[in-house]
Amino acid sequence: MLSQSPKVLHHIGGKSLISRVISEAQSLLGDEQGTITVVTGHGADQVDPHIASMGVRIIHQTEQLGTGHAVRCGAQDLPLEGTVVVLYGDVPLVTADALQPLVAMGRSGLAVMTSDVDDPTGYGRILRDDQGQLTGIVEERDATIEQRAICEINSGLYAAPASMFASLLPLLANENVQGEYYLTDCVALARQHGYAVQGVKGPVECALGVNDRMQLANLEWRYQQRARHQLMQAGVTLIDPDSVFCAGKVDVGPDTIIGPNVWLDDVEIGPAVHIGMGAHLSRVQIARGAHIKPYSVIESTVIGTDATVGPFARLRPGTQLASDTHVGNFVETKNAVIGEGSKLNHLSYIGDATVGRDVNVGAGTITCNYDGVSKHHTTIGDDVFIGSNTSLVAPIEIGEGATTAAGSVLTENVSPGALAIGRNRQIEKTPYQRPTKGRKS
């Protein structure tokens, strides 16, 4: 990877490779009793803190002596009843659904997930006898020319009774080019000792790992394709599917239309929402019928029913828009609660503020919320009209039904229903002679 970060901490779809695998293992476990153990070795000082909060048991492989040795480390102290499932931290597109057949077969014998690929380069090859029974797995570096032509590959995913692993793992030898203990040798050992061995065909994505940046990009592409297909199958229209990027959990209701070049990262979007071109949405909840116009950037925000945002709006963390609100072009909000039917149509900054219902905020309005040390709050009551280019110096409260004159700088509370004017009186001098430039000598 040519990176200072361990491979499993690189990201696909906005989440690290290893956190994706752990999440699927948790889904697979469901309500059943069991333990998820992560075996870490190289880069453990970075990997361990990253996964510590995910509720897994962490075992250190102090010497990296191969996959068989890693499983031997992870399986220590496990009870002998139940089924052991082996996954890989750098095979991130595995899904709980795809693992179900493997687990079912692994309850009574050794089950190996295999996949057919066009280019098997870099993967262990599946060996079968004349009857098609799985007889072994050979790593590419140890394979003959004939074996390298085999296109059925080992995914590295296994399931077997815990008691079987307990008996087979101590028998692994390291008589190979790498001098490592290969988990794949369990297949031949199982057959030698009379255990049932079955190959379970699985999706190609469950066998594809990451060893370099090209493979990382390929799996990102595959993940995005899968996420886009899921959206469209759920009734979402993607104008240009290949340009929509999904990260984290993306939940979108039917009849929503998403334009080109949209970024969706941990979003919950209701039905019949329109997301315009170039919008960037991160940790956002959007209710039914809202319209996000092009090139809006929205993060950690809740948007109500039939609200309109943008174009070119920026909604920062802590923003909450009620239904039928309008936040227009070049408006920025932060820690702002905007009431139903209120409008901030253009060129304004509203931060650390509570805005009531049916408020109109004129262009160029700012809440002056920061004094250089602390943030202060602005409260604007219902049915207030804020004139253009008004500066509200917090802490300040504008009473219900009040009006502020355009160009005002207000530093004191405004009474309900009042007109507040905070500007110098206009002075006019006439006649007036505009200065002219003198001639150059």
Active-site residue (options: 193, 291, 346, 377): 346
User: What tokens does 49 get?
Assistant: 């803190």
Q: Does residue 346 carry a catalytic annotation?
A: yes
Contact 282, 246 (CB under 8 A): no
User: What tokens does 95 get?
Assistant: 């899904």
Residue type, 142: D
Name the residue with tokens 């029913």.
305
Length of the chain: 441
Residue type, 243: S
What backbone torsions phi and psi does residue 59 show, to the nearest 5 degrees?
Answer: -120, 135
Cα(188)–Cα(190) distance, rounded to whole angstroms?
5
Give the distance from CA 269 to its chain's centroid. 15
Contact 292, 298 (CB under 8 A): yes
Residues 6+ apart with CB under 8 A from 333: 314, 315, 316, 319, 327, 344, 349, 350, 351
| Virtual torsion, Cα 271, 276, 277, 278, nearest 10 deg | -90
Contact 362, 390 (CB under 8 A): yes
Question: What's the half-sphere exposure (Cβ side, CA atoms, 13 Å) at 106?
Answer: 25
Cα(281)–Cα(262) distance, rounded to whole angstroms?
8
Residues that are catalytic: 346
